[in-house]
Structures are given as C-alpha cells and as structure tokens.
C-alpha cells in the first residue's frame, strides 16, 4: 500500500475512537457532571428547546403530566440530557432503560407497573424493542393500561392493570425506523440536529468551567471545529487537550496547544481520524477517486465492509468528501483538497476533478 500513514485501528479498537459518537466508559463517568440541568443551560437546538418549553409549561399549568416525547438524532447530541431536563422541569423522577434491555413484554410490564404518577420513563434506542413489548407499549401510552397475560395456551387470561399517568421519552437515531403506530402515539417529536461550531464552542467553554480548565477563545474554536457537530465528541476532545496542556504546557488551552494536542491524537482540522483518512486516501490514491465498490475499498484499508460503511462513511458523506453512487464510492473535489492531493485530469475534459470536476 502506498499511503504514508500507519494502518488504521482494527475493528476491535473502534469503540474507543476519539471521534466516535457513542459513549465510552470514561464518557459515562464524566458526562453526569457535564450535563446541563435545565433548558436554559442546554446549548443550541433552539427549535426543539422552544417547543419543548411550551409543552412542559402547558402541562405544568394544567397540573397534569407532559405528553409523550420522541427525540430523534445521532448519538451524543443530547437526547439523554434532554430527557433528564424534562423530568427536572416537571419535578418528576426519571427511570432510564433502553429498547435492547426490554426483550419480553413481561420486562416492560414490570417497569411500567412500578412507575410513580408523573414519572418520566426514558427509553433509549426505542426502535430496538421486541415486537410484543412494543405492542404492550401502544396501550400503555394511550390508555395508561396494560394487559398482563397469565398462563399459557387456551387457559391463558389477560389481567388488565391500570397504570399511573407517566411521560414516555423515547429516543431513536432515526424516527423513520419506528413503526407508524408507535410514532403516532407521541404528542411531540423533536429532531436533534448536529451543532454549529459556535454552539460547540459554548458547550466547550461551559465544560471547561466545570472541569476547572483555563481555555482561550481560539482554543475553544479549534476544538469545536474538530468535534463533528457533536457535544459528546467536543467534551471528549476537550479532556484530551486538557491532558496535553497539563503535561506539555502550563495547563492553559490556547489555539496552538489545541492544535498540537489534536495532531498527537490524530484528529485533523475537519475532525477526521486515522480510519476516515485511510478510507479517503485509498479511494483517491488507489482508485483515482472512484467509483469503486464498498467491498474493494474495505479490503484496501484492511477493514470489514461494515466498519467502512457504518463507522467511516457517514461522516465522510456528511462532510461532502465522499458520495455513495449506484456505481460505487466516489471522492468529491473537497476530498482531494482536504488530503492535499491533486486530482487526475478528467478524461476528455479540461482541468481536474474527476466526476465532481468544475
């Protein structure tokens, strides 16, 4: 292979990617301390915040329980945080569980029947619940009632169980994955967008204050630009840059320190890591920018197909560096520029740029 970077991490290392959007062990430990506690502290997502504010204020005015809320959006954008804020704003306790943890209707019945009046039930990855549990949830959401089946076969009987009113907050990476009958039972759906760099800067400065880290405006901007629109990644990069600043400098985060630190951690100016760059580099240098099939590209970078498709590509596509076409994967002009490479001349045409030429 002729790229000049070391091999990308293997699939086994991927959950710990510095720019991965799922929470790792350290994130879970620190995130509790960094979570905004009320809507006022929650940065960005103006539309969802305003709409939710109305839903909650109206429920409080009526003295009732808030409508069920569905939050959709990529991991690390603040769905769990918002569900905790909903509970806090309603002065209600919160129970946290997830779709994969509820495989039997009985698991769900046990949770539902132990809820207190007004309690918030946060169900993460709600699209991954089993079918029978999902059907039980329909009735629970609508009528605050479940039928508990006792016995088996012809002798089985359904015992109706009344539930106290509660607020379900469902979270999913894609609302489109939910069956319409479930989706329709939510009174409010909020779609969480990726954050603008200026919003991430606010997240970073807020977290730096809580972690007692000194940071300059430029230092925050540098970290924000590499955080892939995701507060979880911004907070993680901030912690790594803080480590670097404490070991190699006086602890203060300047632009220079942030840049040096993120070079050490191999997160580049647009937030691409080693795997992302290996995929792009293979596409450009081995296949002239494509089109090339996913399997071939995966073999070229020594990764599983799924890893390239699910871990590296979504961000490259979102950044406009790679396109998925019916003929295969194609690099855009921006990909050549980003890696500082010169695209081959277009066959039969002037200039450069391949399929995405001028």
Ligand X SMILES: Nc1ncnc2c1ncn2[C@@H]1O[C@H](COP(=O)(O)OP(=O)(O)OP(=O)(O)O)[C@@H](O)[C@H]1O
Q: Which residues fall in the annotated binding site for Mg(2+)? A: 80
Window 223-242: contact mask with ligand X (x via CB under 6 A): --------xx--x-------
42-81 positions binding ligand X, by CB under 6 A: 42-45, 75-81
| Catalytic option among 65, 80, 189, 254 | 80
**For the chain, first and last CA: distance in Å?**
30
Least Å distance between CB 121 and ligand X? 15
Least Å distance between CB 28 and ligand X? 9
Window 188-217: contact mask with ligand X (x via CB under 6 A): ---------------x--------------
Q: Is 232 a catalytic residue?
A: yes
Nearest residue to ligand X, using CB?
Answer: 78
Q: Which residues are annotated as a binding site for ATP?
A: 34-35, 76, 79-81, 142-144, 185, 195, 232
Window 154-193: contact mask with ligand X (x via CB under 6 A): -----------------x----------------------
Q: Is 173 a catalytic residue?
A: yes
Count of residues making up the chain = 358
| C-beta closer to ligand X: residue 80 or 254 | 80
The yes or no reply on residue 34 touching ligand X (CB under 6 A) is yes
Separation of alpha carbons 56 and 352, rounded Å? 55
| C-beta closer to ligand X: residue 190 or 219 | 190
Least Å distance between CB 40 and ligand X? 11
Q: Is 38 a catalytic residue?
A: no
Q: Is 80 a catalytic residue?
A: yes
Q: Which residues are annotated as a binding site?
A: 34-35, 76, 79-81, 142-144, 185, 195, 232, 305, 324, 329
Q: Is 37 a catalytic residue?
A: no
Residues forming contacts to ligand X in the complex (CB under 6 A) are 22-23, 31, 34-36, 42-45, 75-81, 124, 171, 203, 231-232, 235
Please identify every residue annotated as catalytic. 79-80, 124, 173, 232
């Amino acid at each position: 292979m002729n790229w000049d970077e070391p091999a990308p991490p293997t699939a086994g290392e991927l959950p710990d990617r510095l720019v991965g959007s799922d929470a790792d062990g350290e994130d879970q430990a620190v995130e509790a301390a960094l979570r905004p506690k009320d809507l006022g502290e929650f940065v960005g997502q103006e539309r969802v915040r305003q709409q939710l504010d109305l839903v909650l204020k109206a429920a409080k005015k009526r003295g009732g329980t808030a409508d069920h809320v569905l939050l959709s959006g990529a991991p690390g954008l603040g769905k769990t945080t918002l569900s905790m804020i909903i509970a806090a704003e309603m002065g209600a306790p919160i129970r946290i569980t997830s779709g994969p943890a509820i495989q039997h209707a009985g698991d769900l019945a046990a949770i539902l029947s132990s809820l207190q009046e007004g309690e918030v039930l946060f169900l993460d990855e709600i699209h991954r619940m089993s079918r029978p549990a999902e059907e039980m949830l329909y009735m629970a959401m609508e009528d605050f009632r479940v039928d508990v089946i006792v016995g088996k076969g012809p002798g089985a009987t359904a015992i109706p169980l009344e539930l106290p009113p509660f607020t379900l907050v469902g979270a999913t990476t894609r609302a489109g994955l939910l069956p319409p009958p479930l989706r329709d039972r939510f009174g409010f759906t909020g779609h969480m967008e990726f954050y603008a760099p200026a919003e991430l800067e606010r997240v970073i400065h807020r977290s730096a204050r809580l972690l007692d880290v000194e940071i300059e405006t430029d230092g925050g901007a540098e970290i924000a630009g590499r955080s892939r629109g995701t507060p979880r990644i911004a907070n993680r990069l901030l912690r790594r840059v803080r480590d670097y600043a404490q070991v190699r400098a006086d602890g203060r985060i300047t632009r220079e320190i942030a840049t040096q630190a993120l070079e050490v951690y191999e997160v580049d100016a647009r937030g691409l890591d080693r795997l992302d760059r290996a995929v792009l580099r293979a596409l450009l240098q081995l296949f002239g920018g494509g089109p090339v099939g996913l399997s071939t590209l995966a073999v070229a970078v020594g990764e599983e197909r799924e890893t390239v498709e699910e871990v590296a590509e979504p961000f490259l596509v979102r950044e406009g560096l790679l396109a998925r076409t019916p003929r295969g994967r194609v690099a855009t002009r921006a990909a050549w520029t980003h890696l500082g490479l010169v695209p081959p001349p277009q066959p039969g045409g002037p200039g450069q740029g391949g399929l995405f030429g001028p």
